[in-house]
Amino acid sequence: MAATTCPICRRETVVFQKLFEKHLTKDDIQGSHGVLIFKNDAAKLCGRHLGNHENVNLAFYDVENNRWAMRFRRSPQGRHFLTGDWSQFVRGKDLLCEGRNVTFYSLRCPRCMMNIGYTIGVLKLLGKPIIV
Ligand SMILES: [Zn+2]
């Protein structure tokens, strides 16, 4: 499972902290700007970094532990997008499509509480979310 080792304390398990859910629109999937993140959710993703920078780099991990370099961007109109590797990521994941609800998670080390990265899950009708 995603990002298995904390880079700080080397503990081998991370905990998933649910941040927010997002309904994927056609623009999120096919647009060149990445996925639109609403303002309240943007704060959950970037926290205090949001006010200081136009762009924040965020590491996402998929179910095979591949690292995806996402970039969080604030447009001149004040809208927030997750871009960078997003379009590539979406192209490689059949579960990410228009109309789908996804959940964003933060990956945290339970010992030092270091944020290791992020991951995305798809909600299924029964049972737990599937990490894409
Ligand atoms: Zn740690």
Q: What pLDDT, on the 0 to 100 scale, is given for residue 48? A: 66
pLDDT at residue 60 in the model:
95
**Mean of the per-residue pLDDT values of the chain:** 87
Å from CA of 81 to ligand 1 middle: 29
C-alpha 117 to ligand 1 mean position (Å): 12
Binning pLDDT at 50, 70 and 90, where does residue 127 land? low
| 127 vs 96: which has the higher pLDDT | 96
Give residue 59 CA to ligand 1 midpoint distance, Å.
16
Q: Which domains does the chain have, with CATH numbers?
A: 15-131 (2.40.330.10)
* C-alpha 116 – ligand 1 centre gap (Å): 8
Report CA(96)–ligand 1 centroid distance (Å). Answer: 30
- 17 Cα: distance to centroid of ligand 1 (angstroms): 15
77 C-alpha to center of ligand 1: Å?
A: 37
Residue 103 has pLDDT above 60, yes or no: yes
Side chain identity at 115, as an amino acid letter? N
Task: Quote the tokens at residue 58.
Answer: 């965020």
Residue 33 has pLDDT above 70, yes or no: yes
pLDDT digits (tens, 9 = 90+) for 85-97: 999 999 999 989 9
How far is ligand 1, taken at its centre, from the CA of residue 99, in Å? 36
Amino acid 104: pLDDT: 96
18 pLDDT exceeds 60?
Answer: yes
